[in-house]
Structure 1
Amino acid sequence: MMQTTIGKSVELVGIGLHRGSPVKLRLEPLGVNSGIVFYRSDAGVSIPLIPANVVDTKMATVIGREGVTISTIEHMLSAIYAYGIDNLRVIVDADEIPVMDGSSMSFCMLLEEAGVVAQDTPKKIMRIKKEVIVQEGDKYVKLIPSNGMNYDFTIKFSHPVIDKQSYVLAFTKENYKKEIARARTFGFVHEVQYLRSKGLALGGSLENAVVLDDKKVLNPEGLRFGDEFVRHKILDAIGDMSLIGMNFIGNYEAYAGSHDLNHKLTLALLKDPANYEVVELASAESKELAKAYA
């Protein structure tokens, strides 16, 4: 199984969630062993996608370098990871990725338009060798050695529509597109009001998020899935874990996980080389893995 990039450059324009202004996004192919590299065209600064460049995880995953930042990267990264893309240049002309409809489906469609092409160097993948856990109170996220790739997430909110939800994704690209990609980000009216008072979430609307008051969903079309909330948490987790720098073999499990806990998990994983091994895929094992990204 070989490394991959996209077949051609593609672009779109969408609204930024926090500034509420149009953002132009362009994806370009990159050569082997380049990884995912972000570029702020308005500032002339490149930001490689590595855990050391994460500068904020309160409301979204934010990367930065030389005082230049790009926020809300996790939805797009989730799609990039699901398509097994190793090398890619992401160009934006503002400090955030367009929110689109609050899910990753628009980015999946963009990648479909670009096409995924094999390169001439074997794909590297990380195999989880030891359990790694980050826990704060009753909240935790962890990685578990496994020959499979499952994402197992549980959330609990004191809200009548959400309450407690659990979901397990048996990871393949097709399962991701069918079960996860359409799940939108969500928030509560009182949170939106507070954020806007701080000059944030100015682009947030019922067009790009599921919004709830104290009792119900305010979106007139309702939910896309009865458990859309926990499915979106898996979408976020896949994007956050892509900061490891490659696809991995192992299981992810979380209870009330967050961007912050996911970031701490990537740091804890990479801190000790005994936690993992990086392998170049030989033909026998790559056949099984290739099915996941077919």
Structure 2
Amino acid sequence: MGIELHEYQTTLSTRVSLSGIGVHSGKAVTIHFSPADADMGIVFSRIDAADASHEIRALVSEIGGTDLSTILGDPAGLHVATVEHLMATVFGLGIDNMSIEIDGPEVPVLDGSAQPFVDAFEQAGIRTLEAKRRYIRVIKPVRIESGASWAEFLPHSGTRFEVEIDFESAAIGRQIYAGNMGAETFKRDIARARTFGFMKDVERLWAAGYALGSSLENSVVIGDDDRVINMEGLRFADEFVRHKTLDAMGDLALAGARFIGCFRSYRGGHRLNAAALRRLLSDRSAFEIVETTRRERGRSAELIAVNAPVFVPWAL
């Protein structure tokens, strides 16, 4: 089928923590990941805030900004920024429920990829809960366009990403990643791909309050001569499109449930990913909620449609 069908929800086995700096804020931050009950989803708590009890759910309805990163909450108030690499790991490893405590406004960038999150979650362990997992199955095409850029969801028997980028820079050019996505594929093909940027944009970003924590330790940087200036070079020949796929996974993880279908995009980004997800979830004729079931011992999992409650985690 091209999809890893898991009948039951998951969470972490034990608590694990990471520390680093925010790529845009440049501020030191520590983030703690803890097991959570079934049906809780992914929930952030800003433990440095005056109202530390306030929770921010990792849902598309909570997106407050998409400029250079995905921000959950109120950008002018209580928020958590740059959640995409973390959420891509949640999507890629198949983690349904997790409590996240963070003592700053931005998830640490670490090495600029999702690999440190993969390592941390695998160290903590992932355990299965007793509650059934639900999926969002795409049943008709949904498309959104913005200038020359576009994104769409199509029916597909698995969970598939087809991401294409097209940059004028000769260091990047036109690249395509296409593949069905499961945990092993994510770890092998996507997790290690780092964020990237152009040296010519640095001063402009700094002046706007962005990229204050960016460095060659956490970003692939393209110099004024249109070459990658990192001494170690690229981790993949097409690392740029793999990272764009990672970003798309992180943004689409905010559906609140994994999707069964194909996501395709051309020259996309956080704003377009979020808009495509909103377009899909706003059209109840475009998807159905399904669970897996094994009717007989030894048989492979089957998908069955279920009646979703009036309120569902991915409601807009």
* Range of TM-score over shorter length: over 0.9
**Which residue is equivalent to 1:147?**
157
**Which residue is equivalent to 2:306?**
none
- TM-score (ref. length: structure 2): 0.88
Q: Secondary structure at the match of 2:230?
A: coil
Q: CA deviation at 1:199?
A: 2.6
CA gap 1:266/1:163 in 2 versus in 1, 3 angstroms: same
- What letter corresponds to residue 191 of structure 1 in structure 2? D
Distance in structure 2 (CA, Å) of the matches to 1:157 and 1:60? 19
Q: CA deviation at 1:67?
A: 2.5
**Which residue is equivalent to 2:125?**
115
Residues 49-128 of structure 1 mapped to structure 2, 5 A cutoff: 49-65=58-74, 67-128=77-138
Match of 1:37 among 37, 43, 52: 43
CA gap 1:225/1:158 in 2 versus in 1, 3 angstroms: same
Q: CA deviation at 1:288?
A: 7.8
Q: Secondary structure at the match of 2:186?
A: helix
CA gap 1:12/1:179 in 2 versus in 1, 3 angstroms: same
Match of 1:134 among 139, 144, 149: 144
Distance in structure 2 (CA, Å) of the matches to 1:282 and 1:160? 49
- What letter corresponds to residue 189 of structure 1 in structure 2? M
Per-residue CA distance 1:146-189 (angstroms, 9 max, x = gap): 10221111111011111111111221110110011000000001
Q: Is the 8 A contact 2:293 2:302 kept in 1?
A: no
- What letter corresponds to residue 27 of structure 1 in structure 2? F
Q: Secondary structure at the match of 2:285?
A: helix
Distance in structure 2 (CA, Å) of the matches to 1:189 and 1:288? 50
**Which residue is equivalent to 2:309?**
none
Per-residue CA distance 1:23-82 (angstroms, 9 max, x = gap): 101001111111111111111121011212101001100010592011100001000111
Q: Secondary structure at the match of 1:281?
A: strand
**Which residue is equivalent to 2:24?**
18
> Is 1:274 aligned to residue 285 of structure 2?
yes
Q: Secondary structure at the match of 2:165?
A: strand
Distance in structure 2 (CA, Å) of the matches to 1:286 and 1:39? 38
Q: Secondary structure at the match of 2:89?
A: helix
**Which residue is equivalent to 2:8?**
2
**Which residue is equivalent to 1:216?**
227
- What letter corresponds to residue 47 of structure 1 in structure 2? I
- What letter corresponds to residue 219 of structure 1 in structure 2? N
Match of 2:197 among 184, 187, 193: 187
**Which residue is equivalent to 1:292?**
none
* Greater shift in the superposed pair: 44-53 or 5-14: 44-53
Q: Which runs of 5+ in 2 are unaligned?
A: 1-6, 304-316
Q: Secondary structure at the match of 1:169?
A: strand
Q: Is the 8 A contact 2:194 2:239 kept in 1?
A: yes
**Which residue is equivalent to 2:240?**
229
- What letter corresponds to residue 281 of structure 1 in structure 2? T
- What letter corresponds to residue 190 of structure 2 in structure 1? I
* Greater shift in the superposed pair: 117-126 or 197-206: 197-206
Q: CA deviation at 1:200?
A: 2.1
Distance in structure 2 (CA, Å) of the matches to 1:64 and 1:216? 37
Q: Secondary structure at the match of 1:237?
A: helix
Q: Is the 8 A contact 2:155 2:261 kept in 1?
A: yes
- What letter corresponds to residue 96 of structure 1 in structure 2? E
* Greater shift in the superposed pair: 9-18 or 63-72: 63-72
Distance in structure 1 (CA, Å) of the matches to 2:34 and 2:19? 15
Q: CA deviation at 1:286?
A: 6.6
Per-residue CA distance 1:222-252 (angstroms, 9 max, x = gap): 1111100000000000000001101111111
Match of 1:169 among 136, 160, 179: 179
Q: Secondary structure at the match of 2:268?
A: coil
Q: How many positions carry a matched residue from both structures?
A: 289
Distance in structure 2 (CA, Å) of the matches to 1:217 and 1:235? 20
CA gap 1:227/1:110 in 2 versus in 1, 3 angstroms: same
Q: CA deviation at 1:287?
A: 3.7
- What letter corresponds to residue 37 of structure 2 in structure 1? G
Q: CA deviation at 1:280?
A: 2.1
Distance in structure 1 (CA, Å) of the matches to 2:138 and 2:237? 32
> Is 1:47 aligned to residue 53 of structure 2?
no
* Greater shift in the superposed pair: 6-15 or 65-74: 65-74
